[in-house]
Chains A and B, each alone.
Chain A
Amino acid sequence: MAAGGIPAAFLRYPWSLVAAVNYLYLLVLVYAMSDRFRWLRTLWDGKSCITSLASVLVMIIVYGLVRQDGSKDGLAGVLGFTSMSDSWIFNLMLAALMTSLGIRTVAELGRAGQMAGMLRTGRITDFLHNAARTLVHVSVSVLLVSGIFGSGDKVKCRLTARLGEPVGMAADAEGKAVVLPFSVVLEKFTVDGYPPKLFVFDSEEDALSEDFLSVEEEGVKADVAGWFLSADRYLDMAGCMPGDTVYRELEHVGAVPAVYVTAENLSTGERHAGWVSCGSRIFSSSSLALGSGAAVVMPPPEARQFLSRVSVTDKDGNRDVADIRVNHPARYGAWRIYQAGYDVTQGRWSTVSMLECVKDPWYFLVDAALWLMLVSGALMFLSGGVKGTRGKTEDRPDKNMKP
């Protein structure tokens, strides 16, 4: 029972919601009955709190130490520690912590009247301290409840959008097809790149130099691995025709950045000059040989940002156009569409964009809990970390906790 994993999507709507609501009801019930049945206090007293916290801490340290590759080998694999987030042991301990914390949260909320009294009598520090503690308990409880009960409701799938072609199907992490309630058409894809960099490559060490010359404009110079590099000409979009050795400006699919560079050895004065380019699917790369296995090379420029302009059409024919960038997903109903990648082999000429579609019905609850936790952190800071006068008794829930 304790070994192995919990099946994915253990709880799904509507059962996830039914289970969460009943669980919260039970928490309130346990708190309300704790005076009559003293043994119920063992679920949320100080010892329970410390034990569940320490148990989860130990499990998380094991989580961090064991490689999470899902292997079944060895003791860690048999106990399910190689896939810890699905393991029964870990989830049972989290559930114990969630229960202890949940009942404690109900108790904290039951003291809202006392906190209002602190505010009325001008005990601001006490109020801030108590409010911070209550908000932390509430927010972490909500995060744990929504994390555990809502995990089965989340849908995450990836699609590959090609320029001008509608896509209505995606695939989840296990490769299963997911039918989307809308279709996506990639209207435009652009990559904004950083300036190209020139490195000295040492073929004996098979390594690039640590220093480099960032070619932001013509005329830039730098000392790189014992060579003085000077970018005499810089073409942002260029091409080199077959049989030619010179790069020329070219506005065409597959055009590449190219730099005419002069390299002078800092100790011997030896000089080399020539074109260097990272190449593309159309044009091959060029490097400048420096002798002794060294060469000036240009890796493909790194992307500063990439953007997909997509049109999203639902089953009723309603159409929306949105720009999607990393950190800026598009929202469509309960779905969010994220920029996940593109065809890096084509670089700025990519006509393909990888998008990730995520449906998370518990989004707003988690979002609200996180903001609440930020507020509680601010309150804790404002109260100067000073423990409120009432905290001495409130930290021992087994002694006169209830108002």
Chain B
Amino acid sequence: MDWSHFIFYGAAAAICWIAGAVAAYRSEGVRPAAALSLCGSAIFLVFITGLWISLERPPMRTVGETRLWYSFFVSIAGIAVFARWRYRWILLFSSVMSIVFVCINVLKPEIHDKTLMPALQSVWFIPHVSVYMMAYALLGAVTLFAVYLWLRPSHRMPSEREMQMCDSLVRIGWAFLSAGMVMGALWAKEAWGDWWTWDPKETWAAATWLGYLLYLHLRPGLRRDSSLAFALLVFSFLLLQMCWYGINYLPSAQGASVHIY
């Protein structure tokens, strides 16, 4: 399995995800839509596993490889939210988001070689990256949901249930974000003797973590003013993107981060 096979697996997964999203609108039950979407995620996971075996290392080293996990986890987050809260549109949103990242990887393929620098050969590598990608996926999903609630054509005020769903997703996403940061700190201590060095990646990770933490603390006082809560979610997601790939282009981070790849 190598990168040239990706387009086939990506296309098959995309078809299943779209079919799942359509089934969510057409059928009454949760199972047909969830099963189709899970089928897409399973196909995607088969490619990731095959790539893992052929590379002889986890495909988590390059931005392109992290995009694979992001597509996978966004689809899983979409299915979980659909199964839990029965929002039909979430599968369409998560499918589109996953497919966008599949397309980016198809249009901008990266060379994936087997080398893994010594610092990345740690027991923390796989859990750290996968937990972060899960957090990004959940927080991406809640951002989409917030934008929908904020700008939907009906201009209807969000219901208590809708806001609770936002809060729950942020809480779980923030828990994953915290776990990712902690694992990074434990790994950093093993690798070079510091828990935290204010490397640009770490700085923006702290900003992202604080942004969502601020949301969690502000929400009880913003029961009527949902716009500020949504704005904070969108802003925090911008911080998240700066942390994920934005620092690769940020002038202040050039030559100053060991996390630029």
Contact = CB atoms under 8 A, between A and B. Distances in A.
Same assembly:
yes
B115 A327 contact: no
Contacts of B185: 370
Interface string A38-70: 000000001001100110110011011111100
Contacts of A210: 111
Contacts of B220: 391-392, 395-396
Interface string A322-337: 0001111100000010
A380 interface: yes
A355 to B, nearest CB: 11
Given A156-B193, A325-B118, A385-B171, 17 more contacts: A50-B221, A54-B214, A56-B210, A57-B210, A64-B242, A64-B253, A66-B252, A67-B251, A68-B198, A303-B117, A303-B118, A327-B190, A336-B193, A356-B192, A373-B179, A377-B179, A395-B217
A67 B167 contact: no
Interface residues of A, number: 63
A380 B172 contact: yes
A36 interface: no
Ordered nearest first, which 4 A-B pairs have the shortest CB separation? A385-B168, A385-B171, A358-B193, A326-B118
B193 A329 contact: yes
B113 A212 contact: yes
Given A68-B198, A302-B117, A136 B210 contact: no
B244 to A, nearest CB: 13
Contacts of A376: 175, 178
Interface in A327-350: 327-329, 336, 338, 340
Q: DSSP majority for the B interface?
A: helix
Given A67-B252, A194-B115, A358-B193, A60 B210 contact: yes
Contacts of B193: 156, 329, 336, 338, 356, 358, 360
Given A68-B198, A212-B113, A377-B179, A306 B192 contact: no
B207 interface: yes
Interface of A: 46, 49-50, 53-54, 56-57, 60-61, 63-68, 84-85, 132, 136, 147, 156, 194, 197, 210-212, 214, 302-306, 325-329, 336, 338, 340, 356, 358, 360, 363, 366-367, 370-371, 373-374, 376-378, 380-381, 384-387, 391-392, 395-396
